[in-house]
Structure 1
Amino acid sequence: MFTMETYAKQNLQLLSQTVLERVQPAVVFRDKGAIDQILDDYTSEHAIRSIHVYDPQQKLLAESTKKIAHTSVMQDLMDRWFLHDPVKLIVIHHKKKVGELVLYGSSENILHFLKTIIIGLAISMFFIVIALLWSVNITYRQIMQAIKPLTHIAQLVSDQKAYNLRFPNNHIHEFQNLNTVFNELLEEIQIWHTHLQKENRQLSFQAHHDQLTSLPNRHYFYQELFNIFENPQYRHSSALLFIDNNKFKVINDEYGHLAGDAVLKEMATRLRLSVRYEDFIARLGGDEFAIILHSIHHTDHLRTIAEGVLASCEQPLEFNGQTIHFGFSLGVAFSQFAENPEDLIMQADQAMYKAKSLNPHWFLYKPEI
């Protein structure tokens, strides 16, 4: 488009020079009849919208406009795009300005050229498309006859993830080469798929479990906690235990962080042994643990579990020749007294801090009536 615009402006400039040379004598002698004739000749025979001739005082001497019934919208757009600005030339006689020529070009020739190109391209494209359709149809039929066995195997691999399948031999040499490559690829995919499944299981475990104790982490804990309030089976028969190590900071300061880590791992082991197999134990962070209990229907059952958890820390831990004593504080809350997971956590947390000042160190949250 830039090339066409440049060409149109250069052509209009040359045409303007020609008009200027023709009209100069008539302008000098103020021969309006001759000027009108010259202007009419050029507007009718050339791509010119209008020509205007002014005297040195910018008074209109003559003008001519192309006489056409109407112009197309496309031509109007191209006139404004390519030839929006007129060509202005000074009429000089004996080094003195005797007038001014203002010429507005028309894009009719450009439009005609574009139409010719578009029609030619359209006709060419039509025959090309017809030839391509015929060729594609023939080729398609031949390929489909050879590709049906391949699509069947590929569909099974896609739907059933049956990476152990292999593509059969094909009578077309090119397809046979393709089958060989695909079979090699399937073998590699089968190996990688097995490896990926193993890694996904490992990543899933790492994402949901604490690295030090291998217990479920805080994220996993919240999933289980929300499940209590979404499942009617657990809504009124579950309990939450918050567990805090009473001497963990002292242990870290006195025996070091390695000893602290050993205590946390020992806590995880003892907690597992002190509750039922189906109970959910998680490490929330630091020395804070939580246990979600299901099928708890009376306080005595809960008391037995709480006392068992407290009893699990009676024996000290032997670490690097040192005897380390530690104890728990337990806060307990029933799910039936909580409106939502956050409410249940708040109740268990309050009960745990209340338990620190009691002996034994456990407390059951009781809502105010």
Structure 2
Amino acid sequence: MKFNKLKNDKSSIRNKLRKISTINSAVILLLCWLLLSSTSLLFIKNYEKRNLELIGATLSTTLTAATVFADSYDAHTKIARLGNEGMYDSAQLVTREHLVLVHWHASKEQTGWYSRLLREWIYHKPLRVNIIHSDVIVGTLTLEGTVNGAVSFIRYSFIILTSGMLSVLIISLMLSEFLHRGIIATLRNITSSIHYVIHSGDFSLRIPGSPTSEFQLFSDDLNSLLMEMQSLKASLIRDNRSLAAKALEDPLTGLANRSAFSAHLTRLLDQQYAEKRFALLFLDGDHFKSINDNWGHAAGDEVIKTIGSRLLSLASEQDLVARLGGDEFAMLVSSRSSEAQLQLLMKNIHEAIMQKIFIADGKQINISVTLGYAWSQHGDTVASILERADTNMYKNKRTSKAQR
């Protein structure tokens, strides 16, 4: 429909060639046709390859979290979303342990000989992008580019150029040097703009308008694509930041989870030669299973959230409170450096936890926890300090049972 309108448009290539057909010869027209065809083919090859590289670079960034945690569902969702939009024909995500997380193929592929030849000309081999996390390669993303857009672009480009040449040959054997320069200038403007976008990653650039309808339509389509890529890049950055934050947070209490706890403990142990010592506290709920059995899991969740908030209220800004799972909590205490200060903190924790918890319908639940702790020592590893704190906690739990 759009191309039918362009044929009747006074500013179209076809009508402009008719107006100036008496100026140039058929030979110049043929040379112009060959030049435009070659330029278009080289342009679309460069554009498709660079576009696939941009997609690979952007997609590798947003797949970092999914690759690290081997989350095949999240990775497949992101890859399939772009793939279904025609960004590529197939994609495969493999971790560094050679585990295939995603192997995605487009539901419909170009299978004709023309498409196969075009694919081999544009893409000599699949694009492979390393997934990097903390300067370490954690996986590889392999993409096979699509030629759907290239096929349509080349088909319409050749149809327009061939129709223009035949029309001008019938009307006149002459071609205007002015029009020739105008077409080349427009193509150069478009290719230089896209070249800048590919190398700079600045999707805010917009291709200026053209007085020729076909190139104006092409510029509008490219500008629409740039707008979509700009929006997609911003969305991927937001999603990546959100996933990174959620990966270190316990969904029930909002406290640090086991991964965040382990990472913070490792940092403290790496810095302990230059810092004062710290303490590791383990907290384990007493008879928590009976709360779920008697009051339901909703009440159990409310108890867990209350314990977490009470622990957080007693922690200093430099301390870390984490939920390790179930009714197990941990604290990395850097704000107390003496045994007396730590014992006072543990006493305050006992008193705070033993306060009644109100659940639905005004019902009250009494709870208690068993604590165990260990001070950091030079030469400690994560395993050694965890073992000392865990041993101390179970020792206190057995003592508490014996006293009852």
TM-score band (shorter)? 0.5 to 0.7
Q: What is the aligned partner in structure 2 of residue 199 from structure 1?
A: 239
Change (3 A) 1:200 1:235: same
Task: Give CA-to-partner distance per residue, 1:314-345, whole Å, 9 cap, x none.
Answer: 31101122110112222111222552111111
Deviation at residue 306 of structure 1 after TM alignment: 2.5
Change (3 A) 1:165 1:137: closer
5+ residue gaps, structure 1, are: 1-131, 360-369
Higher RCO (C-alpha 8 Å, min separation 6):
2
Deviation at residue 233 of structure 1 after TM alignment: 6.6
Q: How does 1:178-189 map to 2 (within 5 A)?
A: 178-189=218-229
Q: What is the aligned partner in structure 2 of residue 311 from structure 1?
A: 351
Deviation at residue 224 of structure 1 after TM alignment: 1.8
Change (3 A) 1:170 1:228: farther
Q: Is the 8 A contact 1:217 1:284 kept in 2?
A: yes
Q: What is the aligned partner in structure 1 of residue 289 from structure 2?
A: 249
Which of 313, 316, 320 lines up with 1:280 in the alignment?
320
Q: Distance in 1 between matches of 2:270 and 2:199?
A: 33
Which of 370, 377, 391 lines up with 1:336 in the alignment?
377
Q: Distance in 1 between matches of 2:354 and 2:388?
A: 26
Other structure's SS at 1:356 match: helix
Which of 266, 277, 285 lines up with 2:306 in the alignment?
266
Change (3 A) 1:277 1:155: farther
Other structure's SS at 2:324 match: strand
Deviation at residue 288 of structure 1 after TM alignment: 0.4
Which of 319, 324, 333 lines up with 2:365 in the alignment?
324
Q: Is the 8 A contact 1:282 1:291 kept in 2?
A: yes
Q: What is the aligned partner in structure 2 of residue 349 from structure 1?
A: 390
Q: What is the aligned partner in structure 1 of residue 254 from structure 2?
A: 214
Other structure's SS at 1:213 match: coil
Deviation at residue 356 of structure 1 after TM alignment: 2.4
Counterpart amino acid of 2:284? D
Q: What is the aligned partner in structure 2 of residue 91 from structure 1?
A: none
Larger deviation, residues 285-294 vs 159-168: 159-168
Q: What is the aligned partner in structure 1 of residue 56 from structure 2?
A: none
Change (3 A) 1:354 1:184: same
Q: How does 1:231-246 map to 2 (within 5 A)?
A: 231-232=271-272, 237-246=277-286
Change (3 A) 1:150 1:271: farther
TM value normalised by structure 1: 0.52
Other structure's SS at 2:322 match: strand
Q: Distance in 1 between matches of 2:249 and 2:229?
A: 29
Task: Give CA-to-partner distance per residue, 1:64-115, whole Å, 9 cap, x none.
Answer: xxxxxxxxxxxxxxxxxxxxxxxxxxxxxxxxxxxxxxxxxxxxxxxxxxxx
Q: Distance in 2 between matches of 1:329 and 1:269?
A: 17
TM value normalised by structure 2: 0.48
Change (3 A) 1:345 1:150: farther
Task: Give CA-to-partner distance per residue, 1:201-246, whole Å, 9 cap, x none.
Answer: 3333332222222222222222222222333577653321111112
Q: Is the 8 A contact 1:243 1:352 kept in 2?
A: yes
Task: Give CA-to-partner distance per residue, 1:99-134, whole Å, 9 cap, x none.
Answer: xxxxxxxxxxxxxxxxxxxxxxxxxxxxxxxxx9xx
Task: Give CA-to-partner distance per residue, 1:271-318, whole Å, 9 cap, x none.
Answer: 111101232222111110111223543323333432332232131101
Other structure's SS at 1:313 match: helix
Q: What is the aligned partner in structure 2 of residue 297 from structure 1?
A: 337
Q: How does 1:1-369 map to 2 (within 5 A)?
A: 146=186, 149-150=189-190, 153-154=193-194, 157-158=197-198, 161-170=201-210, 175-232=215-272, 237-294=277-334, 296-320=336-360, 321-336=362-377, 339-357=380-398
Q: Is the 8 A contact 1:313 1:326 kept in 2?
A: yes
5+ residue gaps, structure 2, are: 1-30, 43-180
How many residues get paired? 228
Q: What is the aligned partner in structure 2 of residue 88 from structure 1?
A: none
Counterpart amino acid of 1:223? A
Q: Is the 8 A contact 1:240 1:292 kept in 2?
A: yes
Change (3 A) 1:296 1:190: same
Other structure's SS at 1:253 match: helix
